[in-house]
Structure 1
Amino acid sequence: MRLTPSPKLPSKSILDRSVGQKPGSLSVSADALTPRLFLVSFDQDYYEALEFTDYDLLMEAFRSAPQARHWIDVRGYGNVPLLERIMADFQIHPLQMEDVINDYQRPKVEEGPNGLFIVSRMIAFLPDHTLDDDQLSIFTGDNYVLTFQSDYEDCLDSLRERIRVGKGSIRKKPVMYLAYAMLDVTLDYYFPAMAQLGEYAEELEDCLFEQPSKQLLSQILDLKRVVVKIRRIVWPERDKINEILRLDESVVPQDLKIYFKDLYDHAIQLIDLIDNYRETTSSLTDLYLSNVSNRMNEVMKVLTIISTVFIPLSFIVGLYGMNFSRENPDGSLNPLNMPELYQPYGYVTLLGFMALVVAGMVYYFYRKGWLSKD
């Protein structure tokens, strides 16, 4: 799992595939990482963790300890011949390996000849407020768990440490418990990601009240897309765990199903969280539109008040702008044609009257509460 932001299309490997190729064909993208091979072997009293550069040496170490339990970890897909050898040695179906390499599969579980094929998704909410989403593919066998992932870094270091120190019962229980522990750790990492997402949503909400902007709306919509993406992951995770609980006891022992039931409860909690955040992001969008509408209403109110104040003033100056002559053609005076124009203080009197009109209107607006911001 990437620990630093990196632009990545979630379905990049799918886009790289050739259209119409034979089902089960293995084709990797040009930027696929060179595989790194790790082997963790353990039992109640024994532990060994090694990284191999030679696949033959890894298989020799794996086969030399049939009584132990093993975790074979392959990180990187950039070597198709190596992947084909792993397919042959562990009896992996080509269609399943195709799902591994084209690593944007929905979480799922399938039964195989040797055990289970499980797909999980590892997520992290990055500092740039985007979602890093990588696939973890798990194959189980009689005494091993085989995992594939496209990156060198993941979220399973705490599990490796638990195996190393022998903490808990992971080195005492069957190998299926190791597969459960991987799913448990992967799902546990969803909760801090959800907490960070919630904190970011609260930050956006605070910014909405301070200064809504188009950039803020874009951030809200990006967050909404992240929430939808997590929702598309969590629901299949729940269905996958439910399918595991329905498997026969010969595949998943009854005493281990209680652990998967706890995992199912965690998935339900995540679904509740993601549904809450989905409503939160929708309400943030509504809040933004409401704030923008309120700001527009405030602007329109100010402009309306200004226009209303100037309506009577425009009427008065328009009335006195009419050019009617006070003198008749015969030289006599017509007292009905604006006699106040010829008063010595007519201009000042008119300005005072207009000021009184404005003051009266402002006072009236104030008494009505139209000048308040609430």
Structure 2
Amino acid sequence: MAKLRLHRKREKILDRKAGIKPGTLLVPTESYKPRFFLMSFSETLFEETELQNYKELMLRVKAHPEARHWIDIRGYGDQTMLEQLVADFGLHPLQMEDVINDYQRPKVEEFGTNRLFIITRMLRWSPEFKSLIDVQLSLFTGDNYVLSLQSDYGDCLDPLRERIRVGKGVIRSRPTMYMAYAMLDVVLDYYFPVMAEIGLYMEELEQKVLRKPSKNTLTEILNLKSELVKLRRIAWPERDLMNEMLRMDEDVIPDSLKVYFRDAYDHAVQLIDLIENHREMSSSLVELYMSMVSNRMNEIMKVLTIISSIFIPLSFIVGIYGMNFSREDPETGKVFRYSMPELYEPYSYPILLGLMGTLILFQIYFFYRKGWFRSF
């Protein structure tokens, strides 16, 4: 599955036509059909509905100019709708091109008067495939609306929707820039459960390495390291995004709201620290794997050394008595007194076997006293 997602991302990159006019909207062929959701609210008003088409959506928005609106569009599979969005909301075609080519790094751009274009990335961890799944979330802020666009139908913003429904907190009475902050805050909050799941997975890998290291385990560790590199490439721009919003002018983000963005910036810094710790731990897992494999090889060599040490003196004895030195000269009948006279003794064979057996027992006892068998 992870390979399939990577293949699709490569297909998206290959589908981009080189040399075309900047801002040209090319909708990927696998894009989902768009779904339109609208939440309109104020201190006294709340309406939430899913609309059938873009025209109904705009009619609902225009029907309540006094309210604040969260315009939530999921799916890019309608180029005409995207072009209409550019026209109705005064967006730049280059911005919509970044939305469609949805593997952009997190960033924020100011356009128009007190309007922002924000890209962030929503993350979740796939326990089945042991990989990160990230989806781009694009936000456009206006005087009385926040427009969000994403390629998938599912996201991590349901807690925020529930807060708006039940009227918890001050989100209904705050300006739309606060709602943009709330979305970014929820996205960042979901990074921490992802890090917790990665931490549990790393503990699982550690147990595998300690119990029985294998090449599959090493492959899993290396895949995890690549996922952490990917996570790091996402988290650092998220921190830069928050930092840039903190430096914006008072007329764009009031000082009363910057305290919230500062809190989100702190969360991004904590996230980066966690990522760096996990990267160090993944490197330690590789070192642990190599150490365990080396120890395992040492144990194998130890067994082979003991076996060789036992058979070397036996081979020496057998080699001596395997030499064909005759005791008697076959031509003259002369007897050679130093030509292994024990070969012709009636009990020489069992005596030799007993000597070899005694030597084996002695060696085993000697190795035991030296502690060679204690680690088995």
**Counterpart-to-counterpart distance in 1, 2:167 and 2:72:** 19
Structure 2 residue aligned with 1:122: 122
Q: Is structure 2 residue 310 aligned with structure 1 residue 322?
A: no
Structure 1 residue aligned with 2:22: 23
**Alignment gaps of 5+ in structure 1:** none
**1:5 and 1:127 in contact (8 A); partners too:** no
**Counterpart-to-counterpart distance in 2, 1:182 and 1:11:** 29
**1:13 and 1:103 in contact (8 A); partners too:** no
**Counterpart-to-counterpart distance in 2, 1:123 and 1:352:** 73
Counterpart AA for 2:309: T
**Counterpart-to-counterpart distance in 2, 1:354 and 1:240:** 79
Counterpart AA for 1:135: Q
State the shift of 1:126 in Å: 1.1
**Counterpart-to-counterpart distance in 2, 1:87 and 1:11:** 27
**Counterpart-to-counterpart distance in 1, 2:106 and 2:366:** 67
Structure 1 residue aligned with 2:4: 7
**Counterpart-to-counterpart distance in 1, 2:15 and 2:132:** 21
Structure 2 residue aligned with 1:60: 59
Structure 1 residue aligned with 2:104: 105
Q: Is structure 2 residue 259 aligned with structure 1 residue 258?
A: yes
Which deviates further from its counterpart, 254-263 or 126-135?
Answer: 126-135
Q: Is structure 2 residue 295 aligned with structure 1 residue 300?
A: no
Structure 2 residue aligned with 1:217: 218
Counterpart AA for 1:88: A
**1:136 and 1:147 in contact (8 A); partners too:** yes
Which deviates further from its counterpart, 260-269 or 49-58?
Answer: 49-58
**Alignment gaps of 5+ in structure 2:** none
**1:123 and 1:189 in contact (8 A); partners too:** yes
**Counterpart-to-counterpart distance in 1, 2:146 and 2:307:** 76
Which deviates further from its counterpart, 324-333 or 8-17?
Answer: 8-17
Structure 1 residue aligned with 2:361: 359
**Counterpart-to-counterpart distance in 2, 1:65 and 1:309:** 93
* CA spacing shift, 1:254–1:203, aligned 2, 3 Å: same
Structure 2 residue aligned with 1:168: 169
State the shift of 1:217 in Å: 1.3
* CA spacing shift, 1:109–1:239, aligned 2, 3 Å: same
Q: Is structure 2 residue 347 aligned with structure 1 residue 339?
A: no
**Counterpart-to-counterpart distance in 1, 2:65 and 2:3:** 41
Q: Is structure 2 residue 217 aligned with structure 1 residue 189?
A: no
**Counterpart-to-counterpart distance in 2, 1:339 and 1:34:** 100
**Counterpart-to-counterpart distance in 2, 1:146 and 1:119:** 12
**Counterpart-to-counterpart distance in 1, 2:198 and 2:188:** 16
Counterpart AA for 2:333: G
**Counterpart-to-counterpart distance in 1, 2:343 and 2:126:** 76
Deviations 1:277-328 (A, max 9, x none): 1111111111111111111111111111111111111111110111111112
**Counterpart-to-counterpart distance in 2, 1:207 and 1:313:** 41
Counterpart AA for 1:335: R
Deviations 1:76-95 (A, max 9, x none): 00011110010011111111
State the shift of 1:39 in Å: 1.5
Counterpart AA for 1:86: L
**Counterpart-to-counterpart distance in 2, 1:56 and 1:71:** 16
Q: State the TM-score, normalized to the length of structure 2.
A: 0.96
Structure 2 residue aligned with 1:82: 81
Structure 2 residue aligned with 1:141: 142
Query: For 2:188, what is the secondary structure of its paired residue?
Result: helix
**Counterpart-to-counterpart distance in 2, 1:108 and 1:11:** 22
State the shift of 1:209 in Å: 1.2
State the shift of 1:11 in Å: 5.1
Residues 221-232 of structure 1: pairs in structure 2 closer than 5 A:
221-232=222-233
Q: Is structure 2 residue 42 aligned with structure 1 residue 40?
A: no
* CA spacing shift, 1:346–1:5, aligned 2, 3 Å: closer
**Counterpart-to-counterpart distance in 2, 1:42 and 1:341:** 109
**Counterpart-to-counterpart distance in 2, 1:64 and 1:99:** 30
Structure 2 residue aligned with 1:73: 72
Query: For 1:7, what is the secondary structure of its paired residue?
Result: helix
State the shift of 1:157 in Å: 1.1
Q: State the TM-score, normalized to the length of structure 1.
A: 0.96
State the shift of 1:51 in Å: 1.6
Counterpart AA for 2:51: F
Counterpart AA for 2:347: Y
Query: For 2:19, what is the secondary structure of its paired residue?
Result: coil
Identity of aligned residues (%): 60
Counterpart AA for 1:347: Y
Counterpart AA for 2:337: P
Query: For 1:148, what is the secondary structure of its paired residue?
Result: strand
**Counterpart-to-counterpart distance in 2, 1:14 and 1:310:** 65
**Counterpart-to-counterpart distance in 1, 2:13 and 2:116:** 24
Report runs of 4+ in structure 1 exceeding 3 Å deviation.
4-7
Deviations 1:160-215 (A, max 9, x none): 11111111000011110000000001111111111111111111111111111111
Instruction: Provide the aligned C-alpha RMSD in A.
Output: 1.5
